[in-house]
């Protein structure tokens, strides 16, 4: 994700530039069509241009009397043009540019009285381009439920767990399919897979990603190192009181339909300072009903040693914990390949 950021942002800027150009071009074509169709319309438009120029000049000269005069003239002429448009059989907003996004007028940013914010359409575009340029698209061709093989999980009962790895995985897959089926339900908990390496945690996360994307939703899949790099960047901006409106990366973590964090805890111990940002993100996604999937090689006791009680509290409240156990599937596959060769 990190290495593609510059390229993605450049692509987004080109897309918005093209969208604005298309909108203006469409408006010019409509104007030309109406000019040719009605002399009265053309005359009114010419008067609007002239009044606009005189209003601009009055504004530069700070001539309040002239500003009031030409503002009134301009309003009257625009009202006449709108009335004429309707009489000609056109909607009143016919000459408005055909922006793809009305909220930001294809700039990617929404301007209010006291702030400038990233438009939702820009965040959505960032997520879509991120997915297109990630390896996830290729990975999901092989890592999906149709290729999930339960044969690698022993049917022998684990005395400590009270059931076999096979039966445990069958139950986990049932919960995963419920999660996918009830993805839009507000009471559907997030999922956290935990257990030793090589048991299929990441594979399951890929399976979920495939199903959710097939539903037409957006997905971001990050390893914990990349995830915490974004949190570090956000924390740095917060302590410097620096509000960067083009902060697409962190905004995308808030807005994406499904956020998957793989191998939580692998980010190292130099990230404690941004655990507050992590907690805030967990809260925001939960309150907005947006789902998450987390995988970790840590045991529950191990997670407690890495994260604060506040974060663990959030994880226990917002997530269903699913424990994977058994023999490393990769080791089993390696043994089978070796047997075939001999």
Q: Show which of 116, 151, 175 is a domain's final residue.
A: 116
Q: How confident is the model at residue 2 (pLDDT cuts 50, 70, 90)?
A: very low
**DSSP 8-state secondary structure symbol assigned to residue 307:** S
Residue 66 pLDDT exceeds 50:
yes
For residues 8 and 68, state if they share a domain.
Answer: yes
Residue 57 and residue 27 share a domain = yes
Tell me the two tokens of residue 255. Answer: 């807005």
Can you give the pLDDT at residue 242?
53
> What pLDDT does 293 receive?
97
Q: Are residues 96 and 46 in the same domain?
A: yes
User: Are 90 and 157 in a shared domain?
Assistant: no
Q: Which domain holds residue 41?
A: 2-116
Q: What per-residue string of b and e applies to 39-67 under the rule 16 or more CB within 10 Å gives b?
A: eebeebbebbeebeebbeebeeeeeeeeb
**313 within some domain:** yes
Return the percentage of the chain with pLDDT > 70, whole number: 94
140 shares a domain with 110: no
175 and 92 inside one domain: no
> Rounded to an integer, what distance in angstroms lies between the CA atom of residue 206 and that of residue 320?
18
Structure tokens at 195: 């257990």
Dihedral sign from CA coordinates of 50, 51, 56, 59: positive
Provide the whole-model pTM.
0.77
pLDDT surpassing 90 at residue 130 = no
Decide if 123 is inside a domain: no
125 within some domain: no
Which of 116, 149, 183 is the last residue in one of the domains?
A: 116
Residue 121 within a domain = no
Q: What integer is the mean pLDDT of 86-99? A: 90
Checking if the pLDDT of 43 tops 80, the result is yes
Quick check: 246 pLDDT over 70?
no
pLDDT at 51 exceeding the cut of 70: yes
Q: Which residues contact 315 (CB under 8 A, 6 or more apart)?
A: 192, 282, 294, 303, 307
Q: Per the domain annotation, does 178 fall within a domain?
A: yes
Q: How many domains does the chain have?
A: 2
Residues 111 and 140 in one domain: no
* Domain identity same for 106 and 171: no
* pLDDT tier at 68, thresholds 50, 70, 90: very high
Same domain, 78 and 226: no
Q: Could you give the 3-state DSSP secondary structure of residue 175?
A: helix
Q: Which of 95, 93, 96, 103 is nearest to 16 (CA)?
A: 103
The model's pLDDT over 27-41, given as tens digits with 9 standing for 90+, comes to 999 999 999 999 999
Look up residue 23 and give its two tokens: 């909108």
């Amino acid at each position: 994700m990190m290495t593609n950021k510059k390229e993605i942002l450049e692509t987004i800027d080109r897309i918005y530039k093209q969208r604005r150009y298309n909108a203006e071009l469409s408006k010019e074509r409509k104007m030309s069509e109406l000019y040719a169709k009605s002399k009265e319309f053309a005359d009114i438009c010419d008067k609007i241009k002239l009044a606009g120029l005189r209003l601009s000049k009055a504004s530069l000269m700070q001539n309040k009397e002239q500003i009031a005069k030409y503002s009134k003239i301009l309003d009257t002429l625009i009202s006449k043009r709108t009335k004429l448009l309707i009489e000609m059989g056109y909607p009143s907003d016919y000459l408005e540019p055909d922006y793809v996004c009305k909220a930001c007028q294809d700039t990617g940013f929404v301007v209010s009285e006291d702030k400038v914010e990233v438009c939702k359409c820009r965040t959505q575009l960032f997520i879509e381009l991120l997915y297109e340029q990630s390896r996830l698209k290729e990975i999901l061709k092989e890592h999906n439920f149709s290729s999930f093989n339960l044969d690698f999980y022993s049917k022998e009962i684990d005395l400590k767990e009270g059931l076999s790895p096979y039966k445990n995985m069958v139950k986990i897959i049932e919960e995963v399919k419920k999660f996918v089926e009830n993805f839009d339900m507000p009471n559907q908990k997030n999922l956290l897979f935990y257990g030793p390496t090589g048991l299929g945690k990441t594979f399951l996360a890929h399976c979920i990603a495939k199903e959710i994307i097939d539903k037409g939703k957006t997905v971001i899949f990050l390893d914990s190192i990349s995830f915490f790099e974004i949190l570090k960047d956000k924390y740095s901006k917060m302590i410097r009181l620096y509000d960067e409106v083009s902060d697409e990366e962190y905004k995308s973590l808030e807005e994406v339909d499904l956020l998957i964090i793989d191998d939580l805890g692998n980010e190292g111990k130099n990230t404690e300072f941004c655990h507050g940002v992590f907690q805030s993100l967990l809260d925001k996604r939960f309150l907005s009903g947006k789902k998450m999937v987390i995988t970790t090689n840590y045991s529950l006791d191990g997670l407690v040693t890495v994260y604060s009680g506040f974060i663990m509290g959030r994880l226990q409240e917002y997530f269903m914990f699913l424990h994977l156990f058994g023999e490393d599937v990769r080791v089993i596959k390696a043994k089978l390949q070796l047997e075939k060769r001999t």
